[in-house]
Amino acid sequence: MDGRPGGGWVSRGPAMDGKRYKLLIFDWDGTLSDSAAAIVDTMQVAIRDLGLPPREDQVIRELIGLGMNDVLTRLFPELELNALKALLERYRAQWVNETREAPLFPGALEALQALQGQGYRLAVATGKSRRGLDRSLRHHTELQRLLVGSRTADETASKPDPLMLRELLDVEGLAAGEALMIGDTEYDMAMACAIGMPGAGVLCGVHEAPRLSQSGAAVLLEDVAGLPGWLAAPRSSVRGS
């Protein structure tokens, strides 16, 4: 598949029974929150202010979802650690204290409310810092009330290491096959695959369909708003093109 599925979804691999999942784990940036443009803009401000070598917007965008240390190492492999730490602190100071907060994608909150009402437990696994996620959740209080847990890159291992997923599973007392990871990047899909957890890729974020499929996505959705319908659909009938 080269583009977005037309009004539905495309399954990859064996059929998946949506009713077997007890825990749905969501990435934040690019999955629930339409924040990619703001992240790129903020990073570019930090790069300019620190006089670091310029980087294209798309290069930065491709790394959204990783923990900040990994992002900086990949962006500036030629720089020393102290310079990277300086950028990290400049970025965090601006991004976390920025007055604006990125909106949720249309239909995302309503989808999570519906899923919680159907008995699913909901969590977040994100490359954001704890401080950054807590700030976002304070802004989106309706969503915050739906979550049973969350993990961030600075309090556990960064994606694509699956440690944050293991920790969420341990808290809930669940096996990997009883949870579903939903994200917009290959890092989300890779960490799920590493422990045998199914992954659903959403196409509203930063990585395109082929990249998500190649990294192990079992289904591709337009966005999180389509998740309740996919989970409820009979697996013998796969829609999309």
Q: From the options 1.10.10, 2.30.30, 3.40.50, 1.10.150, give the CATH code of 36-97.
A: 1.10.150
Say if residue 66's pLDDT is above 80: yes
Q: Residue 17: pLDDT band by 50, 70, 90 thresholds?
A: low
Say if residue 9's pLDDT is above 60: no
Nearest to 94 by CA among 114, 62, 68, 63: 68
The 10s digit of each residue's pLDDT in 108-146 is 999 999 999 999 999 999 999 898 899 999 999 999 999
Percent above pLDDT 70 for the chain: 84
Contacts of 208 (CB under 8 A, 6+ apart): none
Domain chopping of the chain, boundaries? 9-34+103-232, 36-97
Nearest to 152 by CA among 36, 31, 26, 37: 26
Kindly state the helix (H) or strand (E) to which residue 202 belongs, with its residue range. Answer: strand 199-202
Contacts of 99 (CB under 8 A, 6+ apart): none
Nearest to 207 by CA among 29, 18, 17: 29
Starting at the earlier edge strand, list the strands of the sheet with 179-183. 9-11, 219-221, 199-202, 179-183, 23-26, 121-126, 147-152
CA angle at 24 for the pair 21 and 29, rounded to the nearest 5°: 155
CATH number assigned to the domain covering 9-34+103-232: 3.40.50.1000
Phi-psi region of 25 (alpha: psi -120 to 50; beta: other; left: phi over 0): beta
8 A C-beta contact, residue 229 and residue 235: no
Nearest to 70 by CA among 157, 193, 164: 157
Identify the three-state secondary structure at position 235. Answer: coil
8 A C-beta contact, residue 60 and residue 44: yes
Say if residue 188's pLDDT is above 50: yes
The 10s digit of each residue's pLDDT in 144-170 is 999 999 999 999 999 999 999 999 999
Nearest to 193 by CA among 216, 211, 175, 171: 216
Look at residue 94 in the predicted model and tell me its pLDDT: 61
Look at residue 95 in the predicted model and tell me its pLDDT: 57
Look at residue 14 in the predicted model and tell me its pLDDT: 44
Q: Residue 195: pLDDT band by 50, 70, 90 thresholds?
A: very high
More confident of the two residues 98 and 166: 166
Say if residue 241's pLDDT is above 50: no
